[in-house]
Amino acid sequence: MLNRINLNGGMYITNEKLQKIEDEIIKVKAKIANYTAKLRKLEGDKTALIQAEYLAIIKETHITPDEFRVLVQSQKGQSGGNKTEPPDSETNKDEEDTDEQI
């Protein structure tokens, strides 16, 4: 349905360009919603894989979860812990380290 713009005197005009823009806005919003959902799923999958790798390391090395926690904290302390980095950068570093170990 085309939008009608009310002009003085009760006259209406149909603006096809405006309708096309509104249709495009609707399409873009739908794409954004889909990509947002996809991003959340991928981030969840990533977190699950990282946690699974940590569990595998714990089992392979026969250390307790508390010992592993201390190890991870000491590694973060040695890296300098740049506080201005976004939280995802720490996760990315963990993934890079894991890739090198494999």
The DSSP element (H or E) to which 52 belongs, if any, is: helix 16-61
* Residue 25: pLDDT over 80: yes
Choose the weakest-confidence range: 22-26, 40-44, 67-71. Answer: 67-71
CA–CA dist 87, 83 (Å, integer): 9
Whole-model pTM: value is 0.49
Could you state, in order of their start, the residue ranges of all structural domains in the chain?
Answer: 4-78+85-101
Q: What is the mean pLDDT of residues 3-19?
A: 66
Question: Higher model confidence: residue 17 or residue 39?
Answer: 39
For the chain, list the strands marked E by DSSP. Answer: 4-6, 12-14
Spatial separation of the C-alpha atoms in residues 58 and 46, rounded to whole Å: 19
Pick the more confident residue, 34 or 59: 34
State residue 46 phi and psi, 5-degree precision: -60, -45
Q: Is the pLDDT of residue 38 over 80?
A: yes
Alpha-carbon distance 41 to 57, whole Å? 25
